[in-house]
Amino acid sequence: MPSIEPAAEPAGGVLTIDCGAVAANYRQLRTQLGQARCGAVVKADAYGLGMGEIAPALAAAGCEDFFVALIEEGVKLRALLAQAKIYVFNGADGGGADALLEHGLIPALNDPGQIAAYARAAGATGTSAPAVLNIDTGMTRLGLGPGDIEALVAAPERLRGIDVGYVMTHLACASEPDHPLNRDQLSAFARARRQLKGVCDAPATLANSAAIFLGPEYHFDLARPGAALYGLVPHPGRPNPMAQVVQLQGRILQVRDVDSPMTVGYGATHRVRSKGRIATVSVGYADGYGHGLSNRGSAYIGDIRVPVVGRVSMDLITLDVSDVPMDRATPGAFVELIGEHLSLDAVADAAGTIGYEVLTRLGHRLHRVYVGGAD
Residue by residue, what is the 3-state secondary structure of 18-72? Answer: EHHHHHHHHHHHHHHHCCCEECEECHHHHHCCCHHHHHHHHHHCCCCEEEECCHH
Residue 91, φ and ψ in degrees, nearest 5: 85, -155
Which candidate in 118, 166, 266, 356 is catalytic?
A: 266
CA neighbor of 280 nearest in space, from 77, 13, 1, 47: 13
Please, what is the Cα angle at 69 between 68 and 70, to 5 degrees? Answer: 100
Pairing of strands 37-38, 263-264: unpaired
CA quadruple 117, 118, 124, 129: dihedral, nearest 10: -170
Q: In what order do the strands lie in the sheet with 65-68?
A: 37-38, 222-223, 204-205, 162-168, 129-134, 105-109, 85-88, 65-68, 40-41
Give dist(CA 238, CA 209) in Å, integer: 14
Give dist(CA 11, CA 219) in Å, integer: 43
> Which residues on adjacent β-strands are paired with residue 132?
108, 166
219: left (phi over 0), alpha (psi -120 to 50) or beta: alpha
Active site residue 370: no
Say if residues 189 and 181 touch (Cβ distance below 8 Å).
Answer: no
Which candidate in 26, 43, 118, 166 is catalytic?
A: 43
Helix (H/G/I), strand (E/B), else coil: 3: coil
Say if residues 246 and 17 touch (Cβ distance below 8 Å).
Answer: yes
Give dist(CA 158, CA 150) in Å, integer: 12
Active site residue 43: yes
Catalytic residues: 43, 266
